[in-house]
Amino acid sequence: MIYHINQIKVGLDYTDQVVAKKVLQLAKIQAKDLKYFKIIRRSLDARHQPVYILTVEIKTNVKIAKSPDIQQYKPPAKVGVSVKILNYRGPEPIVVGAGPAGLMAALVLAENGVSPVIIERGEPALERARQITSYLKTGSLNTESNILFGEGGAGLFSDGKLTARSKDRITTQYFFQKLVEFGAPDTILIDAEPHLGSDLLLKIIPRIRDKIIQLGGTFHFNTKMKSLEISQGALSKVHSDSDVFETTNCILAIGHSARDVYRYLSSTGIALAPKPFAIGVRVELPQSKVNEAQYGSFANNNKLGAASFRLTHKEEGDYRACYSFCMCPGGEVMPCASSPGMMTTNGMSWSARDGKKANAAFLVPVNERDYSNYKDEKYPALEGLFFQEAIEQKIFKAGGSSYLVPAARLSDYLNNKASDSLPDDSSCRRMQITNINGILPNFVETTLKYAIPKMISKLNYPDFREVVVYCGETRSSSPVRIVRTQDSYESISIKGLYPCGEGAGHAGGIVSSALDGIKTAEALLKNISGIKKEPVD
């Protein structure tokens, strides 16, 4: 019998022997009856003397009495992908986009008998990294290969936080095991808040590509999908800027910055729906102060790593809710752009998370009512996108029209003035000190100026001169959904077209986008194999 034992407290230096001893004590069994044990979850509790809280799986022939912290466990019947196609002779499916969703979809197809063709508008990961380094120095933007576009997708230069909100633990575990197979540390399989960092992602992504190629897949970089050809309601060709690909199946994993594709889809009548998202600013403060707030007197214990935070502020009167998002401990604020004359922010860190600053977005939710003025009959459902673009143009101008992020000390932002300087070690490599008031819509700005001081104060950090506000963060998630069916994952407008990942509005973040890629590929395999359709979720 297999059991899961929860709430096992061990010190930061624990060994297997320590864990085994605790297991025997808690399960009340003898060493000879323990067939195996493995740690399946580990979270840090630093509220007092820091400890890890473990969940441990054990196998024993002895029946253990049930208790709140000990449950019998039945392994799931299905692990990984359930369909394999033998001797597939149909046209190769096209995967548009090599972000987490597209790459995982391509890998699942390739591993299960259907070699895909991947088209990606940007460069392969390492070449893309060189371009980004050059952009950070010069501000010369390559609109096709940048912090948002190129192999690895939007998350290549990220903190690589593997936040997993999905209830589908099995597909999540399958994805994490794939990451480990391609070079991620196996601690991601057990840690409650795993992260990779951009340096590890830069190693992992090319290995995923190599595996797909080894299994028969092909990659076309610097190749942009432009349009689709439809015959009797079904997909027949995918046109790129340099080729025409004959196919009956295409996974569209374009991310939320492919605005040219959204315009194309909208103008050709493919079903889209506007969706809520959130906008705000990126806030930076000393990592040491976050460590002090979270670890107290243990802040200097270097075994604890850089601390993170999650802060929220409830809606109050006319003020909307505000929440911190995509926190990057020891990280760097990224000056993101993918279209000429528009600018937004995000954050990244290296696996060591050893930078002096912590940053996070502070966001305010926006919905269809907020951007209804941006409707354009020529492009149904894209009003949220036009609203984003209008703000990003203001950000670009406020930064001096040179791909610099407008920045100010929080104290000056609150007093509506430009800062004379920023604190030492401010991380953003392209920023312009200026008055950042008036860039964001008034309802967002008033909420941020009300909520951020209260939220930062929860970290016992009242020195608002040392907090930097970078304006602004606009692409927390897609402003539009490409509508698809629940059973086959196909667009409701075109048979054989599979909108997928964050850009399709069905995911947000690396893990959920990758999971959506896996499930979409599984749906496509089922459709090809003629297996009776049932909802994939």
Ligand X SMILES: Cc1cc2nc3c(=O)[nH]c(=O)nc-3n(C[C@H](O)[C@H](O)[C@H](O)COP(=O)(O)OP(=O)(O)OC[C@H]3O[C@@H](n4cnc5c(N)ncnc54)[C@H](O)[C@@H]3O)c2cc1C
Q: Please give the DSSP secondary-structure letter assigned to residue 87.
A: S
Q: Judged by CB, which is closer to ligand X: 114, or 148?
A: 148
Cα–Cα dist 170/80, whole Å:
7
Q: Which is nearer to ligand X, 27 or 361 (CB)?
A: 361
Q: DSSP assignment of 418-471, as one string?
A: --S---TT---SSEEE---TTSS-HHHHHHHHHHHHHHHHTTT---GGG-EEEE
Is 121 near ligand X (CB under 6 A)?
Answer: yes
In terms of Cα–Cα distance, which of 191, 137, 194 is closest to 160? 194
255 binds ligand X (CB under 6 A): yes
Considering the rule CB under 6 A, would residue 254 count as an interface residue with ligand X? yes
Under rule CB under 6 A, which residues in 43-102 are in contact with ligand X? 96-102
Q: How far is the CB of 132 from ligand X (least distance, A)?
A: 10
Count the neighbouring beta carbons within 10 Å of the beta carbon of residue 242.
11
Q: What's the distance, Cα to Cα, between the start and end of the chain in Å?
A: 29
| Residue 499 in contact with ligand X, rule: CB under 6 A | no
Beta carbons of 200 and 160 less than 8 angstroms apart: yes
By CB under 6 A, residue 384 contacts ligand X: no
The reply on whether position 261 binds ligand X by CB under 6 A is yes
Q: Are 459 and 310 in contact (CB under 8 A)?
A: no
For ligand X, the binding residues in 147-206 under the rule CB under 6 A are: 147-150, 153-155, 157-161, 163
- Supply the minimum distance, in Å, between the C-beta of residue 150 and ligand X: 5
Reference 505, options 271, 227, 210; nearest CA is: 271
Question: Does 503 contact ligand X by CB under 6 A?
Answer: yes
Distance CA 178, CA 184 (A): 9
Residue list 331-350, contact with ligand X (CB under 6 A): 334, 336, 346-348
Cα radius of gyration rounded to whole Å, the chain: 24
Q: Considering only CA atoms, which of 343, 351, 360, 341 is closest in space to residue 455?
A: 360
Task: Choose which of 141, 205, 251, 253 interacts with ligand X (CB under 6 A).
Answer: 253
509 makes contact with ligand X (CB under 6 A):
yes
Q: Is the dihedral of CA 222, 477, 499, 198 positive or negative?
A: positive
Contact with ligand X (CB under 6 A) among 93, 116, 122, 472: 122
| Cβ neighbours, 10 Å, residue 427 | 22
Q: Is residue 399 within 8 Å of residue 406, measured between CB atoms?
A: yes
Residue 262 CB, shortest distance to ligand X, in Å, is 10
When the beta carbons of 119 and 525 are compared against ligand X, the nearer one is 119
Segment lying near ligand X (by CB under 6 A), choices 44-52, 119-127, 364-372, 519-527: 119-127
Beta bridge partners of 58: 3, 37
Query: Site mask, ligand X, residues 11-50, x = CB under 6 A?
Result: ----------------------------------------
Give whichever of 286 and 335 is closer to ligand X, judged by the CB atom.
335
- Measured from the CB atom, the residue of 10 and 197 that comes closer to ligand X is 197
Q: Residue 147 has which token pair?
A: 């912090």
> Whole-number minimum distance, CB 222 to ligand X, in Å?
9
Q: Which residues bind ligand X (CB under 6 A)?
A: 96-102, 119-122, 147-150, 153-155, 157-161, 163, 224-225, 253-255, 258, 261, 326, 334, 336, 346-348, 501-503, 507-511, 513
